[in-house]
């Protein structure tokens, strides 16, 4: 179990910009992660600004709760490790873990595991690069309805250094900054689009 605070800059980018970034920067090879998002039927987590997911990698899994913690996209991320087998079983059962710090936090908010259900999913191919200002992440996310998007993110600890790097990178690749909804909201929006199509 872990609790981490994160500060980040992020923007949605085009497929062409993503390709240019991949060609110019030495990102590590992409790795996949399948995300299943949960909320109550009346969206109590969403209304409170929280995001709950089970994330499945090739050799490990985790349950994560994101909590807003102040200005400048400061988030706290609470994570409980799961085995791949546990995660797959929970996803098949439309359930979440009944133990761990996330369970305790949700119980303190009067949200029980039985009240949570899957409402969205997304698969992300992530590329990482350590840079002087932090960790640069390039994500390509595919939703069940066939839509996809690309996102550039810089996680940082030094705001001034990060701002300089972010400004230089977005200028170099002609990236017009766009406000970004988090992946939970984008996944939910794509569920609705899929149902409307």
3-state secondary structure 151-188: EEEEEECCHHHHHHHHHHHHHHCCCCCCCCCCHHHHHH
The residue among 102, 83, 73 whose CA lies nearest residue 9 is: 73
User: pLDDT for 124-169, tens place per residue?
Assistant: 999 999 999 999 999 999 999 999 999 999 999 899 999 999 999 9
What's the pLDDT score for residue 7?
A: 82
Whether the CB-CB separation of 191 and 145 falls below 8 Å is answered with yes
Residue 172 burial (CB count, 10 A): 11
User: pLDDT for 10-42, tens place per residue?
Assistant: 999 999 999 999 999 999 999 999 999 999 999
Whether the CB-CB separation of 30 and 124 falls below 8 Å is answered with no
Whether the CB-CB separation of 74 and 7 falls below 8 Å is answered with yes
What's the pLDDT score for residue 184?
A: 79
Query: Is 92 or 76 the better-scoring residue by pLDDT?
Result: 92
What's the pLDDT score for residue 34?
A: 96
Q: CATH number of the domain at 2-196, out of 2.30.40.10, 3.10.20.30, 2.40.320.10, 3.40.50.300?
A: 2.40.320.10
Instruction: Give 72's pLDDT tier (boundaries 50, 70, 90).
Output: low
Residue 196 has pLDDT above 60, yes or no: no
Instruction: Give 111's pLDDT tier (boundaries 50, 70, 90).
Output: very high
Whether the CB-CB separation of 63 and 53 falls below 8 Å is answered with yes
Mind giving me the DSSP string for the chain? -EEEEEEEEEEEE-HHHHHHHHHHS-PPPPEEEEEEEEEETT-HHHHTT-EEEEEE-SS-EEEEEEEE-SSTT-EEEEEEEE-HHHHHHHHHTT---SSSHHHHHHHHTT--GGGEEEEEEEEEEEEEEEETTEEEEEEEEE-TTS-EEEEEEEEES-HHHHHHHHHHHHHHTTPPP-----HHHHHHHHHHHHHH-
User: pLDDT for 48-71, tens place per residue?
Assistant: 888 999 999 999 999 999 988 776
Task: Give the chain's largest Cα–Cα span.
Answer: 49
Q: What is the distance, to the nearest Å, from the Cα of residue 164 to the centroid of all Cα atoms in its chain? A: 24
Instruction: Give 4's pLDDT tier (boundaries 50, 70, 90).
Output: low
| C-alpha separations of 194 from 53, 141, 181, 188, 190 in Å | 20, 15, 18, 10, 6
Confidence (pTM):
0.84
What's the pLDDT score for residue 125?
A: 98
């Amino acid at each position: 179990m872990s609790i981490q605070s994160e500060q980040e800059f992020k923007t949605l980018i085009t497929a062409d910009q993503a390709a240019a970034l991949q060609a110019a920067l030495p990102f590590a090879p992409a790795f996949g992660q399948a995300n299943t998002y949960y909320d109550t039927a009346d969206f109590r987590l969403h209304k409170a600004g929280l995001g709950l997911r089970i994330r499945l990698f090739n050799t490990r899994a985790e349950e994560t709760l994101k909590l807003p913690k102040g200005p400048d996209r400061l988030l706290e991320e609470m994570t409980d490790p799961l085995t791949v087998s546990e995660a797959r079983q929970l996803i098949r059962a439309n359930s979440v873990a009944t133990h761990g710090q996330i369970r305790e936090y949700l119980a303190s908010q009067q949200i029980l595991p039985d009240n949570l259900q899957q409402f969205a999913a997304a698969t992300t191919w992530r590329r990482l690069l350590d840079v002087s200002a932090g960790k640069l992440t390039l994500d390509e996310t595919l939703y069940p309805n066939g839509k996809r998007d690309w996102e550039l993110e810089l996680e940082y600890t030094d705001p001034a250094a990060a701002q300089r790097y972010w400004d230089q990178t977005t200028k170099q690749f002609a990236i017009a900054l766009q406000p970004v909804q988090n992946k939970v909201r984008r996944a939910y929006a794509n569920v609705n689009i899929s149902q409307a199509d």
